[in-house]
Amino acid sequence: MSKVLRNLKLIIAYDGTDFLGWQRQRRGATVQGTLERALATITGASVDVQGSGRTDAGVHAAGQVANFKTSCPIPTANLLKALNNLLPPTVRIRGVSEVPDSFHARHNARAKTYRYRILQAPVALPFINRFVYHYPYPLDRRNMAEAAKLFEGEHDFTSFAGSEGHAVAGARGGDNVRRIFSSKILWRPKLDLIVYEVRGNGFLHHMVRNLAGTLIEVGRGKLGPRDMLRILEARSRSEAGPTAPPSGLCLVRVEY
């Protein structure tokens, strides 16, 4: 008699500093590889964990979503405890639930929210330094906010794609058109923190970091808010700003 396969959904948080990104690689630590090894130890079988999308080396997550199929009968509450006991402290499982067989963390994702955090304080204290881009120089937040709003709507984001030009989860037909539902600059005065928050139906490789890097150029006065329209229209990576460091970026939420 064949064993019944269960489809289990994970909600995952991780400090990406010491990982070479989400996707498993032959060499070096990755979040996907770390999860799969832990699950293999618990279930006694190899496991293929499918994430909602890849995060780059050094990028963090508060609400990454993944799923895997297993015949292991361990209850979800016990599996959550077992995983968190086995995983390194830089990876935490926030939830485990049984989902329909048709659920796929990547294919079924409808929207994602990312936050990019820029620390303006003169000193980056040790307990925040790994999770921000420390930029203790003047930035015009009003101009940055005006520029950020111009990314909303459906656009060809070729100018903000990674140099490789390939797409990540959320790709539509292999092109570089994405719909951005909201794009805004938030100010956290008590923390001296500028937060760029963007929610969309999908993102190209390095896209959020390239958007953030370009907004920083606006804040510095090197670009004006209306330059965003010109950069979008150009469809050329060389027209946009530099790629912001990975430490400031966090995948906050995936919606289904």
pLDDT digits (tens, 9 = 90+) for 89-133: 999 999 999 999 999 999 999 999 999 999 999 999 999 999 999
Co-location of 116 and 238 in the same domain: yes
Q: Look at residue 172 in the predicted model and tell me its pLDDT.
A: 42
CATH of residue 184: 3.30.70.660
Please indicate, yes or no, if residue 105 is contained in any of the structural domains. Answer: no
The answer as to whether 154 is a domain residue is: yes
Question: What share of the chain in percent tops pLDDT 70?
Answer: 95
175 is catalytic: no
Residues 74, 192, single domain; the answer is: no
Q: What is the mean pLDDT of residues 4-18?
A: 96
pLDDT value of residue 164: 52
Same structural domain for residues 245 and 124?
A: yes
203: tokens are: 């993102």
182 within some domain? yes
Q: What is the pLDDT of residues 162-220, one digit of tens each?
A: 865 444 433 444 589 999 999 999 999 999 999 999 999 999 999 999 999 999 999 99
Range of the domain at 37: 6-99
Residue 106 lies inside a defined structural domain of this protein: no
- Mapped onto helix, strand or coil, the DSSP state of residue 129 is helix
Residue 25, φ and ψ in degrees, nearest 5 = -135, 165
- Considering the domain architecture, whether residues 130 and 93 belong to the same structural domain is answered as no
- Do 92 and 126 fall into the same domain? no
Query: Do residues 181 and 62 both lie within one domain?
Result: no
Res 85: pLDDT: 98
- Report whether pLDDT(141) > 50: yes
CA proximity to 115, closest of 172, 57, 182: 182
Please report whether residue 1 resides in a domain. no
* 85 and 115 part of one domain: no
Residue 26 domain-assigned (yes or no): yes
Residue 3's pLDDT is what?
A: 74
Does one domain contain both 45 and 146? no
What single-letter DSSP state applies at residue 170?
Answer: T
| Average of per-residue pLDDT across 235-250 | 97
Instruction: Enter the pTM of the model.
Output: 0.93
Is residue 57 domain-shared with residue 117, that is, in the same domain? no
Catalytically annotated residue among 56, 101, 175, 192? 56
Looking at the structure of the chain, the number of domains it has is 2
What is the average pLDDT score of the chain?
94
Q: What is the DSSP letter of 43?
A: H
Per-residue pLDDT band at 221 (split at 50, 70, 90): very high
Model confidence pLDDT, tens digit, residues 21-41: 999 998 999 999 999 999 999
Taking only Cα atoms into account, the Rg of the chain, rounded to an integer number of angstroms, comes to 19
Whether 232 is covered by a domain: the verdict is: yes
Which 8-state DSSP code applies to residue 163? T
Same domain, 94 and 117: no
d(CA 50, CA 24): 11
pLDDT at 4: 79
pLDDT of residue 169: 38
In terms of domains, do 248 and 155 share one?
A: yes
Buried (b) or exposed (e) across 101-137, using 16+ Cβ within 10 A?
A: eebebbebbebbbbbbbbbbeeebeeeeeebbbbbee
For residue 195, being part of any structural domain is answered with yes
Do 148 and 235 lie in one domain? The reply is: yes
DSSP state of 244: P
